[in-house]
Amino acid sequence: MSEVLVLVDHIDGAVRKPAYELLTIAKRLGEPSAVFIGGADKAAAAVESLKKYGAEKVYVIDDSEIKGYLVAPKAEALQQVAAQAEPAAILITASAEGNEIAGRLAVKLESGLITNAVDVKEGPETTQSVFAGNFTVTAKVTQGTPIITVKANSAAPEESAGAGTVVDVAVTVSDSAKKAQIVASQPRESSGRPELTEAAIVVSGGRGTGGNFEPIENFADSLGAAVGASRAAVDSGWKPHAFQIGQTGKTVSPQLYVAAGISGAIQHRAGMQTSKTIIAINKDEEAPLFELVDFGVVGDLHTVLPAATEQITARKG
Amino acid sequence: MNIVVCVKYVPDSTADQAFESDNTVDRVGVPGLLSELDEYAVEQALQLKEKNEAPESVTVTALSVGPASAADAIRKALQMGADQGVHVVDDAIAGSDALATSKVLAAAVTKIGDVDVVVCGMASTDGGMSVVPAMLAERLDLPQITFASVIESQGNQFRIKRDGDTATEVIGAVAPLVLSVTDQTGEARYPSFKGIMAAKKKPLETYSLADLEVDAGSVGLSAAWTAVENTEARPPRTAGTIVTDEDGSGAKALTEFLASKKFI
Ligand SMILES: Cc1cc2nc3c(=O)[nH]c(=O)nc-3n(C[C@H](O)[C@H](O)[C@H](O)COP(=O)(O)OP(=O)(O)OC[C@H]3O[C@@H](n4cnc5c(N)ncnc54)[C@H](O)[C@@H]3O)c2cc1C
Ligand SMILES: Nc1ncnc2c1ncn2[C@@H]1O[C@H](COP(=O)(O)O)[C@@H](O)[C@H]1O
């Protein structure tokens, strides 16, 4: 069976959930091989977790020549692994960086690229959600090695033991790939809540919060959810840009999306419309977001959310 | 200094978007315009010119690859203040994917020649993939500084702030380079009356694939490296339950709903 390469999404060696999702998808297409680009001292722990989710091989690439530069060196590294593994497909998490790595790799490998898939089946045949979720598109790569970026939450990670055979790869990074330098990097402060793009539940607040996110955050905490925001809330300075959901913010696809005090502009919808279940709380029964919801409350978020938070906490005992 | 700003003509995202029978995006039946996110790119290109020690020595060229109507997008950029336009139009381009589009754009940038900065938007608003800037950098062998929210430059030294996926980063590179900008860079200007009048006299050149020495067989729908098998309008969401809160009934119904779906 042919290998399917999965570029491992991790922070400083800590493997992120989307990597397990991709391994799960890779299994449908062939033999999952993880590609870990990171610190040599972090590899062993990463391999242990990757093999729990079915990685038969783990290509380990030391990142000392890679981590100081934007995107290009990772595409070169993947190109070199691909030359060695001759994979049936290459799967990458659909993030800003992931899509860019995939784009450069597609040019290098002269291969077709499909981005932001929400499902991948045997073939590989991909499913994408386009035009702010109004259309579903199925597609295939017809040339070269299929390169597919997959949105977080597109599969439930399934544990299954893989051999996890380590293959050390010494990659050469060209000088021209080292021209965009990462001069400084400030890791996002952890809020103690789940990461927005990975979370199973997201609770977002908009202009309707009036700048008071406490009801949103308390409600989110009662459900173990991540907190998001509309651009209006971000532009008002109530939340940093990293919280923004939408066309020019993050795209989320959780099991449950709750929007409170958000009208539902097309640009906001673009970032949340593939959520499985959608709930809105809005004072205005005409708010466009109500067209999308599975459940909606016409009411003031400042009274509805605190009461609901209390009831949820009570139920949980 | 030569700046090229890549502008895309896209179907209006607030109109009903649709597909043609061959599964390409309907670019005829839906009114088009300059992609909103590329207005930010034009704005930043113009600011780079204005901040230059000798602004008159800087040329901003608006470049678009697209059908005849895409000239509208270039014209808007000229009205905002770009100096000249280049429009690549060729029937063979229809249905191109990002790989082919980036190939044509790269050939056009090379033909324009002696380009210091290629400025792009962060994404096309018509189902953009946010990959064209990275592909352009790959094809032109230039550094990419993409998703900039803040841009600083001094001579040919550039620094941007990038809101990465897990960190906020400062990226540095030396021109020539490819830059893509987000809507965080600040409001784009509106064309002034004077700008609209001046734009009518600005040069707008048209190139065909032959002018760029790009093989027509390597672009367009039939040469695409991906094939759309099926497009389907999402079935209308089954109308949700909407309740009106009265004396706490809303919270109660909300909790019940969450419990029924096993979220609690
Ligand atoms: C190029 C571009 C890119 C954009 N990108 C994004 C993006 O990525 N993400 C994004 O979100 N937006 C984006 N926008 C902005 C978008 O168009 C909307 O302006 C924005 O989403 C509105 O945010 P909102 O719903 O919070 O505010 P509003 O539209 O003002 O809605 C506030 C809502 O709160 C309700 N409300 C008020 N008080 C209460 C209360 N007490 N209880 C309950 N409900 C209440 C109101 O009825 C109203 O429906 C973009 C716009 C442009 C032009
Ligand atoms: N056909 C095109 N003509 C000119 N510029 C384009 C075209 N397609 C994409 N671009 C540029 O590339 C950016 C990202 O596009 P995309 O990768 O399609 O999301 C856009 O914001 C434009 O600046």
pLDDT in tens, B81-114: 999 999 999 999 998 999 999 999 999 999 999 9
Question: Are the CB atoms for A242 and A228 separated by under 8 Å?
Answer: no
Task: Give the ipTM of the model, two decimals please.
Answer: 0.94
CATH for the A201-316 domain, from 1.10.10.10, 3.40.50.800, 3.40.50.1220, 3.40.1550.10: 3.40.50.1220
Tell me the C-alpha distance between A311 and A19, whole Å. Answer: 35
Identify which of B131, B174, B245 has the shortest CB distance to residue A99.
B131
Q: How high is the pLDDT of residue B131?
A: 97
Q: What is the pTM assigned to this prediction? A: 0.94
Give a three-class secondary structure readout of A250-266: ECCCCCEEEEECCCCCH
Handedness of CA B102, B168, A128, A290 (dihedral sign): negative
Q: What residues of chain A, 276 to 295, have a C-beta less than 8 Å from chain B?
A: 277-279, 281, 285, 290-295
Confidence band of B222 (pLDDT split at 50, 70, 90): confident
Tell me the C-alpha distance between A20 and B248, whole Å. Answer: 42
Confidence band of B143 (pLDDT split at 50, 70, 90): very high
- For A21, other C-beta atoms within 10 Å of its C-beta total 25
Cβ–ligand 2 distance for B44 under 6 Å, the answer no
Q: How high is the pLDDT of residue B28?
A: 64
Most informative mutation of B120, B126, B129, B180 for ligand 2 (most atoms within 8 A of CB): B120
Check CB contact of B168 with chain A, cutoff 8 Å.
Answer: yes
Question: Are the CB atoms for A75 and A105 separated by under 8 Å?
Answer: yes
Confidence band of A62 (pLDDT split at 50, 70, 90): very high
pLDDT over threshold 90, residue A44: yes
Summarised one tens digit per residue, pLDDT across range A173-221 is: 999 999 999 999 998 887 889 999 889 999 999 999 999 999 999 999 9
> What string of DSSP letters covers chain B?
-EEEEE--EEE-TTSPP-B-TTSSB--SSS-EEE-HHHHHHHHHHHHHHHHSSSGGG-EEEEEEES-GGGHHHHHHHHHHT-SEEEEE--GGGTT--HHHHHHHHHHHHHHH-S-SEEEEES--TTT--S-HHHHHHHHHT--EEEEEEEEEEETTEEEEEEE-SSEEEEEEEESSEEEEE-GGG-PPPPPPHHHHHHHTTS-EEEE-HHHHT--GGGSSGGG-SEEEEEEEEPPPPPPPEEEE-STTHHHHHHHHHHHHTT--
Contacts of A30 (CB under 8 A, 6+ apart): A1, A2, A3, A4, A87, A88, A89
Q: Do domains A3-178 and A201-316 have the same CATH topology?
A: yes
Summarised one tens digit per residue, pLDDT across range B190-205 is: 999 999 999 999 999 9
Tell me the C-alpha distance between A308 and B14, whole Å. Answer: 34
Average of per-residue pLDDT values in chain B: 93
* Residue with CA at minimum distance from ligand 1 atom 25: A262
Question: Strand, coil or helix: what is A107?
Answer: helix
Q: How high is the pLDDT of residue B17?
A: 65
**Crossing angle for the helix pair A72-85 and A96-109, nearest 10 degrees?**
50
Question: Strand, coil or helix: what is A309?
Answer: helix
What CATH architecture does domain A3-178 belong to?
Answer: 3-Layer(aba) Sandwich (3.40)
Cβ–ligand 1 distance for A267 under 6 Å, the answer yes
Check CB contact of B182 with chain A, cutoff 8 Å.
Answer: yes
Confidence band of B239 (pLDDT split at 50, 70, 90): confident
Summarised one tens digit per residue, pLDDT across range A109-118 is: 999 999 999 9
Q: How high is the pLDDT of residue B233?
A: 87
To test the contact with chain A by mutation, choose from B40, B179, B225, B237 the residue with the greatest count of A C-beta atoms within 10 A, namely B225
Identify which of A106, A303, A312 has the shortest CB distance to residue B99.
A106
Check CB contact of A141 with chain B, cutoff 8 Å.
Answer: yes
Instruction: Say how many residues make up chain B.
Output: 264
Give a three-class secondary structure readout of B157-210: EEEEEEECCCEEEEEEEECCEEEEECHHHCCCCCCCHHHHHHHCCCCEEEECHH
- Are the Cβ atoms of B13 and A297 closer than 8 angstroms? no
Question: Are the CB atoms for B195 and B80 separated by under 8 Å?
Answer: yes
pLDDT over threshold 90, residue B29: no
Question: Are the CB atoms for B108 and B88 separated by under 8 Å?
Answer: yes
For chain A, domain boundaries: 3-178, 201-316
Q: Which amino acid is at B186?
A: G
**Max CA separation in chain B (angstroms):** 71
> φ, ψ for residue B77 (rounded to 5)?
-65, -40
- For A34, other C-beta atoms within 10 Å of its C-beta total 29
pLDDT over threshold 70, residue A107: yes
Size of interface A-B (CB pairs under 8 A): 261
Q: What residues of chain A, 105 to 124, have a C-beta less than 8 Å from chain B?
A: 106-108, 110-116
* Residue with CA at minimum distance from ligand 1 atom 29: A263
State what percent of residues in chain B have pLDDT above 90. Answer: 82
pLDDT over threshold 80, residue A1: no
Identify which of B139, B232, B254 has the shortest CB distance to residue A135.
B232
Confidence band of B15 (pLDDT split at 50, 70, 90): low
